[in-house]
Structure 1
Amino acid sequence: MRHLRGAVLLVVASIWLAGCAGHRSRPSHAGGTSGTRSTSGARRGHVDDAFHDDIRRDQDSRYRDRSDSVPTGNPLDVSKLVEPTPHWEPRSAYGNKSPYTVLGHTYRVLPSARGYVERGIASFYGNKFHGYKTSSLENYDMYQFSAAHKTLPLPSYARVTNLANGKSVIVRINDRGPFHANRLIDLSYAAAVKIGIWPKGTGMVEVRAIDPAHPDDAPPPVAATAPPAGEPRGANPVPVAGASPSIYLQVGAFSDATNAERLAQRLRAANLGQVQVLQLQSNGQSIRRVRVGPLPDAERADEVARRIEAMGLPAPQVAVD
């Protein structure tokens, strides 16, 4: 099912506005590919510098393609692509405004990428946006290892690991998004292929920021088992047995046990799936988190989230553990 992704409007010069990637939909595919190939310079490993992106136009009319797609033909050979080497870069003049608001939600850009680690659902974007400007006003190239994130500084670097198979890739974050409520990061087409998010379209990932100024502080990578006999180490890592992650939707957090149980009973009556009330300590206070799950995949999480909001409850937060 297609899902909505939003656009960040940026001040360019003093009054021009630019969006990062429009109201994006997950690339359509049938057997891995479908839809029309973009004519916006979408040649493998190339962005046409002569292609003109009019960033003054609104998102509904800015892009040549109406829906997203992935390249047709032979699958991308990511083994020939080089991952970016993290190094210090000054903050982009565009895309780092904080706070900023998209689709009614306000986000604050982190002062630094240092120490950032989060798990959630990844999606990716392809042909429709290839050659168009990102939030940092760089050209989006779906054949480079890049990504869009809501709060990490632009540019910054992160290692993204597919929690289902242990494959990972270093990406350079130069765009804002995705603004679908249940998505953590939007990967370039190349990055999605590299870690197996393509062709399904979504997957559970861990995002670990890399701070080039403090490389020794980088958190360790996701644990993986040794490769099968005869297979090069790191070629196809797989997660530790029994460590397969699951998706949960957190609907509320309460200090009062009665309020937590009241919400849990309401959710159970709606037949949304298993409902949990988890008790934990935060700053010396007992907190009870009410969540639904485990859920099998992002599509089911989207469906349950919509039903929760239709009940008049706040949009739930995704948790992957």
Structure 2
Amino acid sequence: MMARLLRGALIAAAFSTLAACASFGGGRDAPLRPPAVTDPAPIVSGTMRPYQIRGRWYRPAEQPNYDEVGLASWYGAQHNGRPTSTGERFDMAALTAAHKTLPLPSLVEVTNRANGRRVILRVNDRGPFVDSRIIDLSRAAAEELGLLSQGVGEVRVRYVGRAPRTGGGATMRRAEAAPSAAKPTPTAGAVAPSAPVISEASAYWVQAGAYSDRRAARRIAERLGDRASVQDIRSDGQFLFRVIVGPWPDANAAEQARQAVIARGFGDALLISGG
């Protein structure tokens, strides 16, 4: 058990530089807090002028409150290496996107409405010029969102702000269910988690703390929401009651949750691997 805790602490340390922090317990549509951009790239000259495609006019503009639901498509190898509207080369393995009217370059948060997966994408191109679609994704972005095989899917797109000079793409959360049903068993009376079913071997949990008083542990689990539970553990010959949050399907998602738990006042929160 101590080896597992040490492994969890090492994993947490490795991810402590991540700036993204999820809104804990706010539902999969709650806005996330992406990394702050301290040195934004300038808007590329000429990309904010009105333009016409197939007889239709498009008028780019700053849209700080942009929040739209619609269809996303993706483009890949046939465009790979070609220049985008910003002059950057399209890289189908990067987390990028095309939009008709948002500033170039900029950042957007895209959520797959079917599975809750979420990414931050760098918008560096114009498109898609199909009435029913609001954004074109790179192949990598489509893969992260779970849209690769189906080609088109319903997404929610939120404007985040100006993009950094390079990069800016990031996977923010994966909320899909995995096939296995194993997870730590909470004690009787603990708060039942409502998280997606995830294989224990590949899952991660956040340990908010370990306590000698079961009632105190239960109260803390209730404070942390319906993904928190209480687990009995034995350490150095004594029983402790550990408050855990999760499970999470990958270390990135779990680290976001750990940062949120820390923000709730649990500064010693650890990341625990199920492997």
Using structure 2 for the length normalisation, give the TM-score: 0.48
Higher strand share: 2
Larger radius of gyration: 2
